[in-house]
């Protein structure tokens, strides 16, 4: 248990569906992250939020829409995804955005797009 | 640019030592990390080392850092079947005023009897 909880753990969705991934951290951290892990590529940073402000959008297609309503919660809204978007989506948090602060990961949400 | 490279596979016998190697490119990285991922799970932080250190030991784990060659290694002593997993090396980058990790592709460690 890392203190970062992701739901759902598994999600199957059609290409026309709209769904959301949820992440909650119980560590009092100020920065939260979305990473994508697929079989074809190393871990890719998607978004970074620091104090609820998005500080990086790493060239992610607009069909992925993040939301950070407060420093404890992070969402990834999914809309009209493609089969190649099937992957493990990992949420992470760190105390703040400064260098050297350890990043803690959740268990991930396995997404399959059919 | 930033890049982290690792060998993809390592197979060891139970009880032997495992050494997983990693090279990185960002000489300004303040911290370097090792994460472990078991099947179906997220990433678990194993250990990390500050860039001004050469070595860090934590029970069965030994991290060696050669900053000149930008080479990082993780040694697992007395490797057990429970150590079978994918091990990710990561360097920290503070560009843009926030911390992010650049990961290698991961080394799959297989422990056999």
Write out pLDDT tens, residues B70-96.
Answer: 999 999 999 999 999 999 999 887 665
**CA distance to A10, A76, B30, B67, B100, per residue, from B35 (Å):** 22, 24, 16, 19, 14
- CA-CA-CA-CA torsion sign (B40, B42, B47, B51): positive
Q: Extract the residue ranges of chain A whose pLDDT is less than 70.
A: 1, 97-101
Q: Does any CB of chain A come closer than 8 Å to the CB of residue B88?
A: yes
Which token pair is B73? Answer: 């290694």
Q: What is the pLDDT of residue B67?
A: 92
Rounded distance, CA A64 to CA A74, Å? 13
Pick from B98, B101, B106: CB nearest A55 = B98
Nearest CA in chain B to A6: B42
Which token pair is B45? Answer: 């932080």
Closest CA to A4 of A74, A88, A105, A102: A105
pLDDT digits 0-9 by tens, B8-46: 999 999 999 999 999 998 877 778 999 999 988 889 999
Q: Does any CB of chain A come closer than 8 Å to the CB of residue B39?
A: no
């Amino acid at each position: 248990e890392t203190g970062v909880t992701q739901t759902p753990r598994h999600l199957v969705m059609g290409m026309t569906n709209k769904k959301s991934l949820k992440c909650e951290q119980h560590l009092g951290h100020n920065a939260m992250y979305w990473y994508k892990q697929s079989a074809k590529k190393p871990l890719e940073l998607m978004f970074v939020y620091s104090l609820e402000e998005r500080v990086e959008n790493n060239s992610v297609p607009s069909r992925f829409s993040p939301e950070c309503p407060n420093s404890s919660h992070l969402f990834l809204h999914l809309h009209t995804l493609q089969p190649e978007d099937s992957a493990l989506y990992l949420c992470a948090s760190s105390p703040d955005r400064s260098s050297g602060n350890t990043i803690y990961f959740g268990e991930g949400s396995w997404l399959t797009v059919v | 640019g930033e890049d982290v490279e690792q060998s993809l596979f390592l197979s060891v016998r139970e009880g032997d030592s495992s050494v997983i190697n990693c090279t990185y490119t960002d000489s300004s990285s303040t911290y370097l990390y090792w994460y472990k991922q078991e099947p179906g799970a997220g990433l678990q932080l194993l250990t990390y080392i500050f860039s001004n250190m050469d070595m860090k030991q934590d029970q069965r784990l030994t991290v060696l850092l050669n900053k000149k060659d930008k080479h990082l290694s993780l040694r697992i002593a007395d490797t057990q079947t429970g150590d079978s997993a994918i091990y990710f090396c990561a360097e920290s980058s503070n560009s843009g005023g926030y911390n992010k990790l650049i990961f290698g592709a991961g080394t799959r460690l297989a422990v056999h009897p």
